[in-house]
Amino acid sequence: MPTAVASRHIVETAESPAAAQPQHLTRITYHVKKGDTLSSIAELFDTTVAKIKTWNRLSSNRITPGAKLKIMAASRGRTATSSPDSQQRNH
């Protein structure tokens, strides 16, 4: 029986390799555009609405165009395609 428990544990670890590797976070300043929602921004940066609200000390889900949000994004190719740096230079 201990063998089954050990193998179950190994299978769970294999299914979640991201948990075993430390994530490197990059701080991004995101400029809110018309039509943006916290949910759409969270999806764009592969994070959660709750985390964005915490990082920005927001008490509601309401955001306005032109607002700047701090985003702690994992250093992956995904953040590069959203080009938040170009958004900063344009404003």
For the stretch 54-82, pLDDT in tens is: 999 999 999 999 999 999 988 754 433 34
Q: Is 62 helix (H, G, I), strand (E, B) or coil?
A: coil
Q: Using an 8 Å Cβ cutoff, are 68 and 74 in contact?
A: no
* Structure confidence at residue 91 as a pLDDT band (50, 70, 90): very low
Helix segments in the chain, DSSP class H: 2-15, 17-20, 38-44, 49-55, 77-82, 84-89
Domain regions of the chain by residue span: 22-89
User: Mean pLDDT throughout 44-62?
Assistant: 96
The pLDDT assigned to 20 comes to 52
Architecture of domain 22-89: Roll (3.10)
The pLDDT assigned to 19 comes to 54
Measured CA to CA, the distance from residue 80 to residue 84 in angstroms comes to: 8
